Each structure stands twice: as C-alpha cells, then as structure tokens.
Amino acid sequence: MGPPGSGKGTQVERLADRLGVTRMSTGDLFRSHQAKGTELGLLARSYMEKGEYVPDEVTIGMVMEWIGGTEQSAGFVLDGFPRTLAQAEALDNGVEDAGGIDRVIYIRVSRDELVRRLTGRLVCRGCQTPYHAVSAQPTIHGECDHCGGELYQREDDRPKVAGHRLEVYERETAPVIEYYRGSGNLEEIDGEGTTEEVERALTVAA
C-alpha cells in the first residue's frame, strides 16, 4: 500500500517475481477493460480521469473474481487494493478460509516527492512500462526501450488531477492504513530511497 506515485507498481512486480506468485493491479484491470471497450471499462475511465476511485462494489467484485482464479492458488501480491475500508473488510472476509492476508506493507513518501513523481511520469502505450521525464528517461525520447511503443502522460498524472488524487488518497485510503495497523500485520517502509534501497527494505518487511 501507499499513495499514488509511491512506487508500488515497480516493487509489486519485483516482489511477485521473487516469490514466484502472481500479482494484480486494479489499475491494470480497469485499463484492460477500457482497452476492450467494456461497460465496466468506460465506467472506470469516467472516474479515473477525474482522479476519483471506481465505486467499491465494482472494484470488489472484479478483484475477488481475480483472486478466485486457479492461477492465484499458490498466493498473490496486490497493488492498489484495498483502497477503502469496505474493500479491506471484503478482502479479509474473502480470504479468511485460506488463512487471511499474510502481510500489509505501506510505502511512505512525502507529498512534495509524490507530486514530482506523478507529474513527470510517462507510460508506454504498448507494454505499460513506466518512465519518468527526469529520473527514468527512455534511451530515445518518447519511445519505449522495451517495445518501441509511444510514451504518454496519463490523464490522472496531469498536475491538477495528480493533486486531487493525493487528496482522495488521504481521505479514502489513509484510514485503511490504521485498519491494518490495528490488525498487527502492517509493516511501514521508507519509499524515498532508490528503487534498490526500497526493494531491500521491502524484502525485509515481507
């Protein structure tokens, strides 16, 4: 867990690869539906472009269906879920019979650093590889190093929307941190080091 721009996506991918389990990002699920032009995808886009969260009932249903897949039977890592208390409670209830959530890791990053990261972030249209206009530039300007796809700035990373996303996070998601702190399985790490430094801290916490 962590606010937008905290580096969750990068760390989730590395952690899942190291553990040999699947990973899930709600953002990826929504964008997949958008690419397919589904009704859910169009609904999700209308919220995401404004920096708002997709309604709980839609998100919970989608995620729990994914968790129930056979590919997740050996375990999984979640990125961007749960974001609200209702989602956290639904997740706990949904995996209770399987032993519950093993660990919740919260990546802390200051607001100033989050804004800097979000407003400079670029994403490949083809493979969704993330870049940054300052700290993680592609070899060729505007072109993905991995697939040659076009790099673009997502609507929800533009300055005005990015600021609103952080406000929504504080209002909606910060209480979830307290919820998991009360459960005793929350670990907090500093997310303002290098990717490798954060990964090492994450490895210890996990």
Contact 107, 198 (CB under 8 A): yes
Catalytic residue among 45, 154, 158, 181: 154
Contacts of 93 (CB under 8 A, 6+ apart): none
Q: Is 145 left (phi over 0), alpha (psi -120 to 50) or beta?
A: alpha
Closest CA to 80 of 7, 25, 10, 11: 25
Catalytic residue among 8, 14, 23, 117: 8
**Active-site residue 83, yes or no?**
yes
* DSSP structure class, residue 124: E
**Active-site residue 121, yes or no?**
yes
Catalytic residue among 14, 23, 31, 165: 165
Catalytic residue among 14, 23, 31, 121: 121
**Active-site residue 111, yes or no?**
no
**Active-site residue 8, yes or no?**
yes
Catalytic residue among 14, 31, 83, 117: 83
Amino acid 198 reads V
**Active-site residue 116, yes or no?**
no
Residues annotated as catalytic (active site), given as ranges: 8, 83, 121, 154, 165
